[in-house]
Amino acid sequence: MRLKLKLKTVFVLYFMVSLLGLVYALMQLGQRCDCTEHDIIKDRTISRLRGDLQKLQEEVKRSDTTKAPKKTHLPTIYVITPTYARLVQKAELMRLSQTFLHVPQLHWVVVEDADQPTALVRNLLAESGLTYTQLHILTPKDRKLQEGDPSWLKPRGAEQRNEGLRWLREMGSASRGQHGAAVENAVVYFADDDNTYSLKLFEEMRYTQGVSVWPVGLVGGMRFESPVVDGGKVIRFHTGWRPNRPFPIDMAGFAVSLHLVLTNPDAVFDGDAQMGFLESSFLQGIITMEELEPKADMCTKILVWHTRTEKPKMKREDALQKQGLGSDPNVEV
């Protein structure tokens, strides 16, 4: 409020100077004047106004420097995102980063499926304005999907999520002494780079004590999959496929307290898990269904959607490349 008043004062001063100058000029029309005396008065006025302006600027600067830095007591949300090189990778990560910019106290852990970190991801993260960590680990060849394989044939991103968990445990172990409370209260979420997230979702998960859960839209060949809640407790899951799984839940449908991750060092994702059991391989060793914390208005609101970007068709690009007229490969897409 004080800053707005100071700026208003400056604008008023400029307006007064302009108005006085105009009136004086009109009064002098048609009259002979002593230019020397006129210049002296003008110089004195300008000098005085400059002095007033400088004082205002110094006062504003002092006010800014004496402001206490903003402190936040919000628990940190560590978001682990596996990613891999493909034509739409930058577009996916860019869109996701724009969402995360609106979430306070978020630390983005991006884990590349690569034998070394790439410049594309490094530059995107550096320009994102987010607090981030860039990691990388290559998926073994026998665990990778081959050309033409259906997306459900093998679990994807297990090694990358485990690498993110490894980093969190190392960070947590090193920080327990100095920042113990902040680490203990933090939350871990696994966010794929092609999903769609409501900002409300992150505030729902922020105060997770163990494992919090909520519905996921457009997943499993259904409008949504969801925990079913009765009396404030999760009693089963609404899903169309293998409801007898230990935890028939999508990766986007739960968050875990960092405390739980740190106190269960052997909890990881099994890269050899059969289809649909990747989430269960991590959760079944750290939580029971009765202990799950239902969020999103007792699991009645959809705040995340399992969307997928259509693979771009490059027929014209391929044709032009054969003619030597393809798009400049040095332009990063």
- DSSP symbol at 37: H
| pLDDT, tens digit (0-9, with 9 covering 90-100), for 284-322 | 999 999 999 999 999 999 999 999 988 899 999 999 999
Instruction: Check whether 137 has a pLDDT greater than 70.
Output: yes
Please report the pLDDT score of residue 318 as a whole number: 93
How far is 273 from 9, CA to CA, in rounded Å?
A: 68
Q: Look over the chain and give the mean of its residue pLDDT values, rounded to a whole number.
A: 87
What is the percentage of the chain residues whose pLDDT exceeds 90? Answer: 68
Instruction: Check whether 237 has a pLDDT greater than 70.
Output: yes
Does the annotation place 272 within a ligand binding site?
Answer: no
Please report the pLDDT score of residue 5 as a whole number: 44
- The pLDDT confidence band at residue 149, using thresholds 50, 70 and 90, is confident
Is position 279 annotated as part of the catalytic site?
yes
What is the percentage of the chain residues whose pLDDT exceeds 70? Answer: 80
DSSP string over 267-324: ----TTPPTT-HHHHHHTTT--GGG-EE-HHHHTS--EE---PPPPP-HHHHHHHHTT
Please report the pLDDT score of residue 65 as a whole number: 42
| pLDDT, tens digit (0-9, with 9 covering 90-100), for 243-297 | 999 999 999 999 999 999 999 999 999 999 999 999 999 999 999 999 999 999 9
Does the annotation place 39 within a ligand binding site?
Answer: no
Contact criterion met (CB below 8 Å) for 305 and 218? yes
Please report the pLDDT score of residue 133 as a whole number: 98
Q: What angle do CA 75, 235, 280 make, to 5 degrees?
A: 65
Dihedral sign (CA 146, 150, 153, 157)? positive
Please report the pLDDT score of residue 91 as a whole number: 97
- The pLDDT confidence band at residue 22, using thresholds 50, 70 and 90, is low
Does the annotation place 306 within a ligand binding site?
Answer: yes
Residue of 112, 204, 279, 293 marked catalytic? 279
Does the annotation place 82 within a ligand binding site?
Answer: yes
Instruction: Check whether 130 has a pLDDT greater than 60.
Output: yes
In this structure, what token pair is assigned to residue 121?
A: 């991801």
What does the pLDDT average to over 205-220? 97
The predicted model scores a pTM of 0.77
Please report the pLDDT score of residue 3 as a whole number: 43
What does the pLDDT average to over 147-159? 80
- The pLDDT confidence band at residue 1, using thresholds 50, 70 and 90, is very low
Does the annotation place 113 within a ligand binding site?
Answer: yes
| pLDDT, tens digit (0-9, with 9 covering 90-100), for 29-80 | 555 555 566 667 767 777 777 777 777 766 655 554 444 444 468 999 999 9
